[in-house]
């Protein structure tokens, strides 16, 4: 019996990744196109379909899955808004795809599709329970329970970036205070270093940015830490300690078999992950910690598109 084939679409603000994916998570064909943020949604969907139709296997594709950032009603495939796509407000995305392809289409938040991708690619579909933590501009998450994505009563499950770590901490974009995102999200991490640079100097960061601190990014902080810069290494260490407190909450509450980190910030894991685990050891139930495998995804840029395709298996 031939394996089923699905189309995955990862709608990013800069690029849209499209792939034909087997039902074991393996990619058969893939392509990426530039995102036209000025175009209306129907035009973008048409461009995605035109690109997908170039696949030799397109006629064999059964269903389509789409991952997109924003406020998504996953049951109906309705996109209320997407921060990466300014013109995307109140879009019937599922209907658009189905009208233009005559193929069943499923839509979900990109953090959820990343979790599904991590489940199939990094975990090989083995864990009964898995938490995927996305570390990037913000902090997102996806929850797998009984090998299925968990959405919660209103579809808001997985917003783990807004777990409070410090009751009196700085204000988050979500309007709460002291969320874990305010300690390890890219913007907040960079701002903490900029504040430190007002008190102390860093020859390394000055050299990497040509003394223009507006150019500081997590990548700059990673490179500076690799060169031994104390301010950068301290920033990653502080982020690791807070992440450890966050991990202990996840471990004690969910008691998952696996936690997988992904996203751009996770590329700097050598500077914070061991610190985070060490901090979690002080705070989490030891039985929960011992039962959980904590790791970083090896498939960072593939998770979203594969997870979108595998929505059909949910």
Same domain, 10 and 134: no
pLDDT in tens, 8-19: 999 988 899 999
pLDDT in tens, 34-82: 999 999 999 999 999 999 999 999 999 999 999 999 889 999 999 998 8
Locate 34 and state its tokens.
């530039």
- What is the C-alpha to C-alpha distance for residues 8 and 114, in angstroms, rounded to an integer? 12
Same domain, 261 and 156: yes
* Residue 1: per-residue pLDDT: 45
Predicted TM-score (pTM) of this structure: 0.93
* Positions in the chain short of pLDDT 70: 1-2
Expressed as residue numbers, the domain containing 105 is 5-117+302-313
**Residue 79: which H helix or E strand, with range?**
strand 78-82
Same domain, 160 and 36: no
Asked if the structure places residue 196 within a domain, the reply is: yes
* Residue 2: per-residue pLDDT: 65
- What is the C-alpha to C-alpha distance for residues 17 and 36, in angstroms, rounded to an integer? 13
- What is the C-alpha to C-alpha distance for residues 196 and 238, in angstroms, rounded to an integer? 13
Same domain, 198 and 288: yes
- Under 8 Å between Cβ of 44 and 57: no
The total domain count for the chain is 2
* Residue 84: per-residue pLDDT: 80
- What residues contact residue 77 under an 8 Å CB cut-off, 6+ apart? 66, 92, 93, 94, 95, 97, 105, 106, 107
Asked if the structure places residue 90 within a domain, the reply is: yes
Locate 132 and state its tokens.
């995927």
Place of tokens 């035009």: 43
- What is the C-alpha to C-alpha distance for residues 107 and 77, in angstroms, rounded to an integer? 5
How does 168-206 read in b/e, with b if 16+ C-beta sit within 10 Å? ebeebeeeeebbbbbbbbbebbbebbeebbeeeebebbe
Same domain, 291 and 306: no
- Under 8 Å between Cβ of 258 and 131: yes
Same domain, 148 and 103: no
């Amino acid at each position: 019996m031939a394996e089923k084939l699905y189309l995955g679409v990862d709608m990013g603000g800069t690029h849209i990744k499209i792939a034909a994916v087997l039902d074991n998570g393996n990619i058969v064909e893939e392509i990426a196109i530039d995102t036209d943020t000025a175009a209306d949604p129907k035009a973008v969907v048409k461009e995605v379909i035109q690109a997908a139709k170039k696949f030799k296997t397109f006629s064999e594709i059964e269903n389509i899955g789409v991952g997109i950032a924003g406020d998504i009603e996953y049951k109906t495939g309705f996109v209320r808004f997407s921060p990466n796509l300014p013109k995307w407000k109140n879009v019937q995305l599922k209907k658009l795809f189905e009208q233009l392809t005559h193929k069943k289409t499923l839509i979900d938040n990109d953090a959820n599709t990343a979790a599904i991708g991590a489940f199939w690619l990094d975990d090989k579909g083995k864990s009964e329970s898995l938490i995927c933590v996305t570390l990037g501009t913000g902090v997102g998450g996806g929850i797998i329970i009984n090998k299925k994505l968990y959405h919660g009563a209103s579809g808001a499950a997985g917003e783990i970036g807004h777990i409070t770590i410090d009751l009196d901490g700085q204000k988050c974009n979500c309007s709460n205070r002291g969320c874990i995102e305010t300690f390890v999200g890219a913007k907040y991490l960079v701002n903490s270093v900029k504040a430190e640079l007002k008190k102390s100097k860093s020859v390394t960061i000055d050299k990497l940015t040509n003394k223009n601190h507006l150019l500081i990014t997590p990548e700059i902080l990673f490179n500076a830490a690799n060169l031994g810069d104390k301010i950068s290494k301290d920033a990653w260490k502080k982020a690791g300690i807070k992440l450890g407190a966050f991990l202990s909450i996840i471990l004690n509450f969910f008691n998952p078999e696996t936690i997988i980190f992904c996203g751009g910030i996770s590329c700097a894991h050598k500077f914070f992950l061991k610190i985070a685990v060490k901090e979690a050891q002080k705070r989490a139930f030891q039985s929960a910690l011992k039962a959980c495998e904590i790791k970083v995804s090896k498939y960072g840029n593939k998770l979203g598109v594969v997870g979108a395709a595998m929505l059909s298996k949910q």
